[in-house]
């Protein structure tokens, strides 16, 4: 009976249950000074700044498939002239080896 239950459970598991995965988050913070951070014209363009960023990644692979998602966000706060500036990015990638000669991918 136990063998039958184990076999049925193994057949019911989706392929992603057998996937290897990796997840991480990178946090960065810093202080600095730039004589012209936004390449502005004119005099008195220098400013000190503080910067904080986060990068997150999750990827997983199976025998034939490799997929990942990632996100990046950053805020730079300038102490004079420029205020706050933000950047962000989202990405997703996947590839599937249908056979040894055909590989499908998307981004």
Q: Tokens 């205020």, residue?
A: 83
The pLDDT tens digits of the residues spanning 69-97 come to 999 999 999 998 899 999 999 999 999 99
pLDDT at 105 over 50: yes
Q: Tokens 């990068």, residue?
A: 55
Q: How much is the mean pLDDT over the chain?
A: 87
pLDDT at 11 over 50: no
pLDDT at 19 over 90: no
**Backbone torsions φ then ψ of 29, nearest 5 degrees:** -140, 150
Prediction pTM value: 0.72
**Backbone torsions φ then ψ of 101, nearest 5 degrees:** -110, -15
**CA-closest candidate to residue 62, choices 30, 7, 2, 21:** 21
């Amino acid at each position: 009976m136990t063998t039958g239950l184990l076999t049925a459970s193994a057949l019911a598991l989706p392929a992603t249950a057998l996937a290897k995965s990796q997840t991480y988050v990178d946090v960065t913070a810093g202080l600095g000074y730039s004589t012209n951070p936004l390449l502005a014209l004119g005099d008195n363009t220098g400013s000190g700044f503080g910067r904080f960023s986060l990068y997150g990644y999750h990827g997983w692979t199976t025998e034939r498939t490799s997929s990942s998602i990632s996100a990046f966000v950053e805020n730079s706060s300038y102490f004079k002239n420029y205020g706050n500036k933000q950047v962000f990015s989202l990405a997703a990638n996947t590839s599937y080896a249908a056979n040894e000669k055909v590989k499908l991918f998307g981004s």
